[in-house]
Amino acid sequence: MRIAVFGDVVGRSGRNALTQRLPGLKRKYALDFIVVNAENAAGGFGVTPRICEELLEAGADVLTTGNHAYDQRDDIAIFDAEPRLLRPANFPAANPGRGSGMFQDAAGRNVLVVHALGQRGMFPVDDPCAAVDRELEGVKLGREADAIIVDFHAEATSEKYSMGHYLDGRVSLIVGTHTHVPTADDQILSHGAGFIADLGMTGDYDSVIGMEKSEPLHRFVSKMPGGRFSPAAGEATVCGVVVETDPASGLAGAISPLRVGGRLRPAAPAF
């Protein structure tokens, strides 16, 4: 199975780049299942029903979020209404939405997607390891699930690596999201799980992690807010990874970055 996961979509530029390119990427690389992190898709903060529909219609099978999941306060009901939209599993249990879901690709293969939030440098949440264990309970890779994907939305690289090694051998792929800069450490861990510390954002890299430069620079220099953050509007780079899983075990057989458009150097899977 070929699975692609795309990093944090930031604003209109990121949405347009992904929705325009995703159908062609799906055909070109014969992608069976696609996950998109959409937590910055609505003006840089959260997601709306219309944006969910737009990304799903373009070819995404599942949308994940992160610490900005509920920023669009008038649209929080979408987390209960749309099962393909996930919030972190280690949010309080009573919160709208769910932290994982079992989905099927076009061939009827079962794909479990699990989403969790890191603790380092984030607002307080429950233990992400315990939360992921809970979502994996009763689901064995290669038996109940043909593939298992974990989006770990975290600030600290050390915490992302710890989660990767904690889950190695039990899941197909662990991807880090949140820091908006693609890392060069895509690899298959020692027990067969694919891993990357951060997918990078799908957004305009002539920016400060997706935001138009003037306000972040003003705050760094003056230590004072000058206005609202707004997403940069230039051409976006679509950033993600593609993993190919073993049909028997569900573990990763190959992993490669995928970067298209914008300012960053292109990257594409050779398998």
pLDDT of 206: 98
Residue 271 located in a structural domain:
no
Residue 269 located in a structural domain:
no
* CATH number, residue 61: 3.60.21.10
Residue 206 located in a structural domain:
yes
Confidence bin at 45 (pLDDT 50/70/90): very high
Residue 256 located in a structural domain:
yes
Confidence bin at 53 (pLDDT 50/70/90): very high
Span 186-208, pLDDT tens digits: 999 999 999 999 999 999 999 99
52: three-class secondary structure by DSSP: helix
Residue 268 located in a structural domain:
no
Mean pLDDT over 102-126 rounds to 96
Would you name the residues annotated as active-site residues? 68
pLDDT of 212: 97
User: What tokens does 252 get?
Assistant: 């990763």
pLDDT of 110: 98
**Mean pLDDT score of the chain:** 97
Instruction: Give residues with Cβ within 8 angstroms of 268, minimum separation 6.
Output: 29, 256, 258, 259, 260
HSE at residue 125, side-chain half, CA atoms within 13 A, is 26
pLDDT of 186: 98
Residue 267 located in a structural domain:
no
Residue 201 located in a structural domain:
yes
Q: Which residues pair with 208 in a beta bridge?
A: 211
Amino acid code (one letter) for 115: H
Residue 248 located in a structural domain:
yes
- Residue range(s) defining the domain that contains residue 137: 2-260
For the chain, what is the domain count? 1
84: three-class secondary structure by DSSP: coil
HSE at residue 106, side-chain half, CA atoms within 13 A, is 11
Q: Are 129 and 154 in contact (CB under 8 A)?
A: no
